Chain A
Amino acid sequence: MPDPAEKKKRPLWYNLSPLNLPLPGLVSILHRASGAVLFLGLVWFLFLLDMSLASEAGFARFRGYVGHPLVKLFLLGFLWAYLHHFCAGIRYLFLDIDKGVGLPAARASSYAVLAVSLALTALLGMRLW
C-alpha cells in the first residue's frame, strides 16, 4: 500500500505535450475537425448555391461575392476541409474492411491522405481562381 502522503504528491494533471501525436492520430483529429467545420459551413454553401441559381442577377451577385479575396480564402479553407475529409474517409473505409491496418501501411496511408488532399486543394484551387 502506498503511503497516503506519498499518494497526495502525485500529479493531478499530466502534461501530454511532450508526447508526439502520431501521423494517423493527426489525420484522425483533422477528420473530425474538418467534419465539424463542414457541418458549420453547410448553411453558407446552401446560401451560395441558392443565390447562384435564383436568377441572372443572383448569379452576378454570386460571382461578385465569390470574387472577394476574403471569401476566396474561406472557400479555399472549406475546399481543403472537404478534400481532407474525403481522402481520410476513404482511408477509414479501407481500414473498416481490414485493409492497411499494419503500422507501416497505416503511416504510409496517413501521409498519403495529408499529401493528396493538400495537392488536390492546390489543383482545384488554381482551377477555380
Chain B
Amino acid sequence: MVERTIVGAHYGLRGWLAQRITAVVMALATLVIVGGIWSASPLTYAIWKSLFAKWWMWLSLSLFSLAVMLHAWVGVRDILMDYIKPTGLRLALEVLFLLALAYYTIWAMQILWRV
C-alpha cells in the first residue's frame, strides 16, 4: 500500500518552481546571447555561423531552448486552466501544445547541433 498524503495544496509547487528556475536560466542566457549578437559585426554568414559555434553561445542557446520548453509549458497550462473550461477541449489543447513544444525543442537542438 502506497502511503500518500491527499492534500492538493502543494501539487503545483514543482511547476511553479520550475518556471522560476528556468526564468533565471533564460534571463542569464539572454544576456550572453544578446552580447554575442551585439558583437557580431560585420554581419556576414561566416561571422554569423561562427558566432553560433562558439561554446558559450552554443551552451547558452541549448540551455535556453530546454528552459523555454519547461517555462512555456507551465505558462501555457496556466492560461488553458484559466480560460478553457470544457475538460475535453482543454486536454486536447494541452496535448497539442505539449507536442508542439517537444517538436520545437528537437528542432532547436537540430539547428544547434548542425553549426
The reply to whether A39 and B111 form a contact with Cβ atoms under 8 Å apart is no
Docked pose: A6 CA to B30 CA in angstroms: 59
For the complex, what is the distance from the CA of A59 to the CA of B111, rounded to whole Å? 14
B38 touches A53 (CB 8 A): no
Is the interface on chain A under 10, 10 to 19, 20 to 34, or 35 or more residues? 20 to 34
Contact in complex: B111, A42 (CB < 8 Å)? no
CB proximity of B3 to chain A, nearest CB, Å:
31
Dominant secondary structure of chain B at its interface with chain A: helix
Residue in A53, A56, A63, A93 whose CB lies within 8 Å of B23: A93
Check if A49 is an interface residue, CB within 8 A of chain B: yes
* Residue contact A86 to B30, C-beta cutoff 8 Å: yes
Residues of B within 8 A of A38 (CB): 72
Chain B, 23-40, CB within 8 A of any chain A CB:
23-24, 27, 30, 34, 38
Q: Report the separation of the CA atoms of residues A42 and B26 in the bound assembly, to the nearest whole angstrom.
A: 15
Q: How many A-B residue pairs have CB under 8 A?
A: 51
Contact A32 B79 (CB under 8 A): yes
Number of B interface residues in the complex (CB < 8 A): 25
Q: Does A43 contact B (CB under 8 A)?
A: yes
Contacts of B52 in A (CB 8 A): 53
**CB neighbors of B among A21-73 (8 A):** 32, 35-36, 38-39, 42-43, 46, 49-50, 52-53, 55-56, 59-60, 63
Is A112 an interface residue when CB atoms closer than 8 A count as contact? no
Give the contacting residue for A36; candidates B49, B79, B104; CB below 8 A: B79
Q: Given the known inter-chain contacts A32-B79, A93-B20, A93-B23, please indicate yes or no for A53 contacting B114, CB distance below 8 A.
A: yes
18 other A-B residue contacts (CB within 8 Å) besides A39-B72, A46-B104, A93-B24: A35-B72, A35-B79, A36-B75, A38-B72, A39-B76, A42-B104, A43-B100, A46-B108, A49-B108, A50-B111, A52-B48, A53-B49, A53-B52, A55-B45, A63-B43, A93-B20, A93-B23, A124-B34
Please give the residue numbers on chain A whose beta carbons come within 8 Å of chain B beta carbons, in ascending order: 32, 35-36, 38-39, 42-43, 46, 49-50, 52-53, 55-56, 59-60, 63, 86, 89-90, 93, 96, 124, 127
Per CB-CB distance, the 9 closest pairs between chain A and chain B, nearest first, are A59-B45, A35-B75, A56-B45, A39-B72, A50-B111, A89-B23, A46-B107, A42-B104, A53-B115
